[in-house]
Structure 1
């Protein structure tokens, strides 16, 4: 029986005014400050080219910062090569050796870490057990499913007991059902071991599901940092509102503000909500599809232009005087008819005010 345990040496990660340039003109990361607490899973989220992967690679030592400081724990690692940093990385492609068994793949990094043959084997077996692959050690990677291969890659990283574990788009090669299962596995392992994890993805749902905190990146800089619920319920601007989940961005007018409570007008429909520091005048309103209420007595007028049944809910496209909206309803037994005129309001915890620009 293997008694070896995988231990956590979780350390915080800090970026202080970090910039990364490629050549003279290409700024991949622009003067960012970031603090990842020890034992937390923080996701870097954003569209292609926003700087999230470059940020991850700078933690790993695969890219060097042009300016600023990077600390892991109390150590300044800014100029340290990857081999001198106590981090492990799980790649999108798994990067398994096809000619080696699963156990040999997991053991590979341990051979260079000062463990004897017996300790190496025990740790590798413990790592496979941890990711639910006990008894799979003698198989080749080609004999495993995509999800199982990804777990092998996670086990290989975990057995090194890194201060920081890095994930670069780890689920992008898996189908939807496997993605959900493997992300739950990764989150469970991270929480059980108290690992510091920095995780890169472009998938908003994935980020919301696994993260303690999400760093939304845009144009080489940080747009907003917050918990999944904070970002979903209180985005700072239109980009974050539109990128984190689905949001309808509606034009509105702030008619009056008192004690940080704003009275707004949306096509004649008046509603009160937190002003979030805004003053009277034109503004934008972010409303999640589930927080548009069709059939309210008080609201603005719209027409149903499309109705789609997707099993657990109905999805509707609505046309109002100011443009189109997307709404969802749980009532699948009495769907609303295309072409019908409806009144649309907001749920109690509904819209969020955003700056006009």
Structure 2
């Protein structure tokens, strides 16, 4: 059975899909494609349409218009029971009175699979998620991360063409979220699964995804690889939503090949020009792109807030171009609130076209 896991991974394709509830459009003419064997994340703030999009893939919501394809099959009008997908819910949705092995085997048993076969397949599923030997326990005897892995195993053993995750880590603490997201990514890669994953957590999306689809107001704002979205945001919204960018007004003074000379408050930097012409522009300055020095050339600033976070210091700094959020890795040299500082800029600055 191990060899067959992930063997039927299929693409997912939306063609101008809309979902309306009365006059309200939860999803508006959305088109995208997820390649077989890849993990794509639907990312965006609450109410942007990402969960409705996921539910339409699952067949839990039917589209108002447009076409939905899983592999070569048009599933637009098919109910959830006739789509070869499995979904892992935010709440895990485990049966508390059943053992772990019974939870994982449940889908087989209700479909009439012989008990011995269902048991064997469930045991393999638990082994895949690192829970071999836990089958006799009740969900209440497991940690939150272990319960999440049981939910993943229950979905995996059905060998779906597409595996769906709806905010799977939101009930876990920060340290456990990191570990479980790594486990989900490892399973997806090792088994070659097609996964569509919903989250509002930007760091989580960047960490697990082959493709990130950023949604805003029921539409797609931008899609691409994590690095592409971080370093080449399409507009102000994406730049601000992905990675705590400081958005400041700047001016492109000149371009030379693929680089641009940009003035930020009178300080000149050379950054990728993105094909933009000379003139006013927005600069998305990442918190780690600002170097704090004492005196010399640069932008003057004053430390407004300071926080120690173990691995780094976080500062809020008043400057001529506005308030800047800065991350400093030099934890042994903290700066006092109210002290002056000079700001210099590295090359992790993305020019954002227009004011959009």
**TM-score tier after normalising by the smaller chain length:** over 0.9
Q: What is the CA–CA distance in structure 2 between the aligned matches of 1:123 and 1:319, rounded to whole Å?
A: 60
Aligned equivalent of 2:232 = 234
SS at match of 2:189: helix
SS at match of 1:209: helix
Q: How much has 1:112 moved relative to structure 2? A: 3.9
Q: What is the CA–CA distance in structure 1 between the aligned matches of 2:353 and 2:232, rounded to whole Å?
A: 12
- Confirm or deny: 8 A CA contact 2:299 2:320 kept in the other structure: no
More moved, 319-328 vs 261-270? 261-270
- Confirm or deny: 8 A CA contact 2:298 2:344 kept in the other structure: yes
- Confirm or deny: 8 A CA contact 1:303 1:342 kept in the other structure: yes
Q: What is the CA–CA distance in structure 2 between the aligned matches of 1:346 and 1:37, rounded to whole Å?
A: 38
Instruction: Map 1:316-355 to 2 at 5 A.
Output: 316-347=315-346, 349-355=347-353
- Confirm or deny: 8 A CA contact 2:122 2:157 kept in the other structure: yes
Aligned equivalent of 1:191 = 189
SS at match of 1:148: helix
Give the TM-score taking structure 1 as reference length: 0.95
Q: How has the CA–CA distance of structure 1 residues 335 and 4 changed in structure 2, closer, same or farther, with 3 Å as cutoff?
A: closer
Aligned equivalent of 2:308 = 309
- Confirm or deny: 8 A CA contact 1:20 1:29 kept in the other structure: yes
Q: What is the CA–CA distance in structure 2 between the aligned matches of 1:216 and 1:4, rounded to whole Å?
A: 34
Give the TM-score taking structure 2 as reference length: 0.95
Q: How much has 1:175 moved relative to structure 2? A: 1.1
**Is there any run of 5+ residues in structure 1 with no aligned partner, and where?**
none
Aligned alpha-carbon RMSD (Å): 1.6
Aligned equivalent of 2:267 = 269
Aligned equivalent of 1:175 = 173
- Confirm or deny: 8 A CA contact 1:15 1:69 kept in the other structure: yes
- Confirm or deny: 8 A CA contact 1:6 1:158 kept in the other structure: no
- Confirm or deny: 8 A CA contact 1:5 1:126 kept in the other structure: no
Q: What is the CA–CA distance in structure 2 between the aligned matches of 1:286 and 1:132, rounded to whole Å?
A: 41
Q: How much has 1:329 moved relative to structure 2? A: 1.3
Aligned equivalent of 1:288 = 286
Q: What is the CA–CA distance in structure 1 between the aligned matches of 2:176 and 2:258, rounded to whole Å?
A: 45
Aligned equivalent of 1:61 = 59
Q: How much has 1:339 moved relative to structure 2? A: 2.6
Q: How much has 1:205 moved relative to structure 2? A: 1.1
- Confirm or deny: 8 A CA contact 1:6 1:159 kept in the other structure: no
Aligned equivalent of 2:134 = 136
More moved, 155-164 vs 173-182? 173-182
Aligned equivalent of 1:15 = 14
- Confirm or deny: 8 A CA contact 2:302 2:318 kept in the other structure: yes
Provide the aligned length of Structure 1 versus Structure 2: 353
- Confirm or deny: 8 A CA contact 1:6 1:126 kept in the other structure: no
